[in-house]
């Protein structure tokens, strides 16, 4: 193990990183709160300010991935679609099997200049996670309770609010609705069988209602669906704790741009279209398992310095008053921040996931 790698695995380094993340995050949350009155005067200006404030938080995690752990990300995509990425609104459909898949998504957002503004259809519980969840409230992230009867109205309303958003964004949808586990896979394949759908090997059966409502409400606003399939080299299952320890991974992302006009408007046809998409995604994963790469050319966008510059800025600002780092108060503060971050990391861990998708369902439900 090299000296740098040894340093990255040191608890004191983790304490400092967590301290900077928590204190800067809380400062950003406070600044976001201060923008509330501005929403009444100029909604678009308030939105633009919040995009930049959010960037200060999420880009710290991107910096940890790109600069601290040195994780590399390769993009497989059609070179003709490449110039459009970041220059249009898009709905991103991504597989949900890894604890850090959202972070890899953020990395690509940063490389295409849409990190601050990007959105997701997220479970309601995440809205209460300090810093990130609170920040999302000001970013107009769309939350769902995963109870369609309640979600159909609230999700559609939140999506409608995004129609006049002032900057380009990617809207992330994990159609599988929860992270892949063998048990959830088994249950969802029983549902597939009852619906006469082909079985999937690498994905859960997609939930189609959220996709349909998103496409319908963002029609005319989003230009395309980016069908994205993520995998890691050497069969690795990366974690946030691994990133914090400076472990380097290599992510491969396969993206296909599908113009929104190609997606049927009718709900049943749209659901059938999504099922077919997931069958194709499954075949791409099979290709990856067999060959270690996705089909097609690679066009990797380089990492940008902004996430690192932002991180260094907060480190300088917040560590300056801690010149005597052994000061009891600062150590206590860092320790508390570290415990808080450990709890937040728990939110990303598959073992601590909810039981959503685990329960057998009455198979004739409509």
Ligand X SMILES: CCCCCCCCCCCCCCCCCC(=O)OC[C@@H](O)COP(=O)(O)O
Q: Which does 324 bind (CB under 5 to 8 A by kind): ligand LBKI3ST6, ligand X, none?
A: none
Q: Rounded distance, CA 302 to CA 304, Å?
A: 6
Bridge partners of residue 170, in order along the sequence: 90
Q: Which of 118, 168, 285, 334 binds ligand LBKI3ST6 (CB under 6 A)?
A: 118
Closest CA to 62 of 21, 9, 24: 21
- Phi, psi of 54, deg, nearest 5: -65, -35
Q: Which stretch binds ligand LBKI3ST6 (CB under 6 A): 28-36, 206-214, 289-297, 336-344?
A: 206-214
Look up residue 344 and give its DSSP letter.
H
Q: Is 102 in the site for ligand LBKI3ST6 (CB under 6 A)?
A: yes
Q: Is 356 in the site for ligand X (CB under 6 A)?
A: yes
Q: Rounded distance, CA 175 to CA 215, Å?
A: 12
Distances (CA, A) of 148 to 213, 214, 216, 310, 340: 11, 13, 16, 39, 32
Q: Rounded distance, CA 239 to CA 69, Å?
A: 11
Q: Which stretch binds ligand X (CB under 6 A): 46-54, 84-92, 172-180, 328-336?
A: 172-180
Across the beta sheet with 90-94, what order do the strands follow? Answer: 72-77, 250-259, 224-232, 90-94, 170-173, 119-123, 142-144
Q: Is 357 in the site for ligand LBKI3ST6 (CB under 6 A)?
A: yes
Q: Is 62 in the site for ligand LBKI3ST6 (CB under 6 A)?
A: no
Using Cβ positions, the residue closest to ligand X within the complex turns out to be 353
Q: Which of 20, 92, 135, 274 binds ligand LBKI3ST6 (CB under 6 A)?
A: 92
Q: How many CB atoms lie within 10 A of CB 43?
A: 13
| Window 229-268: residues binding ligand X (CB under 6 A) | 240, 244
Q: Is 208 in the site for ligand LBKI3ST6 (CB under 6 A)?
A: yes
Residue reference for tokens 């597939």: 192
Element (H, E) at 250: strand 250-259
Q: Is 106 in the site for ligand X (CB under 6 A)?
A: no
Q: Is 120 in the site for ligand LBKI3ST6 (CB under 6 A)?
A: yes
With the C-alpha atoms ordered 23, 24, 27, 28, is the resulting torsion angle positive or negative?
A: negative
Measured from the CB of residue 343, what is the shortest distance to ligand X in angstroms?
9
Give per-residue burial for 84-120: e unless 16+ CB within 10 Å, then b. ebbebbbbbbbbbbbbbbbbbbbbbbbbbbbbbbbbb
Q: Is 179 in the site for ligand X (CB under 6 A)?
A: yes
DSSP SS3 for 18: helix
Q: Is 354 in the site for ligand X (CB under 6 A)?
A: yes
| Window 135-174: residues binding ligand LBKI3ST6 (CB under 6 A) | 144, 146-148, 151, 170, 172-174
Q: Which of 84, 129, 191, 258 binds ligand X (CB under 6 A)?
A: 129
Please list, in sequence order, all residues whose beta carbon lies within 8 angstroms of the beta carbon of residue 314, skipping any fewer than 6 positions away. Answer: 20, 24, 56, 60
Site string for ligand X, 189-208 (x = CB under 6 A): --------------------
Q: Which of 16, 17, 205, 224 binds ligand X (CB under 6 A)?
A: 17
Q: Is 100 in the site for ligand LBKI3ST6 (CB under 6 A)?
A: no
Site residues, ligand X (CB under 6 A): 17, 21, 60-61, 64, 96, 102, 123, 126, 129, 132, 174, 178-179, 240, 244, 341, 344-345, 347-348, 353-354, 356
Where do contacts with ligand LBKI3ST6 occur on this chain (CB under 6 A)?
Answer: 92, 94, 102, 105-106, 108-109, 118, 120-123, 126, 144, 146-148, 151, 170, 172-175, 177, 187-188, 191, 204-205, 207-211, 228, 253, 357, 361, 365-366
């Amino acid at each position: 193990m090299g000296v740098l790698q040894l340093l990255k695995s040191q608890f004191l380094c983790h304490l400092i990183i967590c301290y900077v993340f928590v204190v800067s995050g809380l400062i950003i949350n406070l600044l976001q709160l201060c923008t509330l009155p501005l929403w009444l005067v100029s909604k678009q200006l308030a939105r633009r300010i919040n995009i930049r404030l959010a960037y200060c938080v999420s880009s710290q995690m991107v910096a940890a991935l790109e600069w601290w752990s040195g994780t590399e990300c390769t993009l497989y995509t059609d070179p003709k679609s490449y110039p459009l990425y970041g220059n249009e609104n898009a709905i991103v459909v991504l597989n949900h099997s890894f604890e850090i898949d959202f972070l890899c998504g953020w990395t690509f957002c940063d490389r295409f200049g849409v990190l601050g503004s990007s959105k997701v259809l997220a479970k309601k519980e995440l809205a209460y996670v300090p810093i990130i969840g609170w920040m999302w409230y000001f970013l107009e992230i769309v939350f769902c309770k995963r109870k369609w009867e309640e979600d159909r109205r609230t999700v559609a309303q939140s999506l409608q609010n995004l129609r006049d958003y002032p900057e380009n964004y990617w809207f992330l949808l994990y159609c599988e609705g929860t992270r892949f586990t063998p048990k959830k896979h088994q249950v969802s394949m029983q549902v597939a069988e009852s619906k006469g759908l082909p079985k999937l090997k690498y994905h859960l059966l997609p939930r189609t209602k959220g996709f349909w409502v998103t496409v319908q409400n963002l029609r005319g606003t989003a230009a395309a669906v980016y069908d994205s399939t993520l995998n890691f080299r050497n069969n690795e299952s990366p974690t946030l704790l691994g990133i914090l320890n400076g472990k380097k991974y290599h992510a491969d992302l396969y993206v296909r741009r599908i113009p929104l006009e190609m997606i049927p408007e009718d709900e049943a046809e749209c659901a059938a279209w999504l099922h077919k998409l997931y069958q194709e995604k499954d075949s791409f994963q099979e290709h990856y398992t067999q060959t270690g790469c996705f089909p097609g050319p690679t066009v990797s966008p380089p990492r940008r310095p902004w996430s690192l510059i932002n991180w260094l800025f907060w480190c300088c600002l917040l560590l300056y008053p801690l010149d005597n780092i052994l000061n009891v108060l600062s150590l206590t503060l860092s320790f508390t921040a570290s415990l808080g971050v450990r709890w937040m990391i728990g939110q990303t861990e598959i073992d601590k996931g909810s039981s959503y998708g685990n329960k057998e369902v009455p198979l004739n439900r409509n």
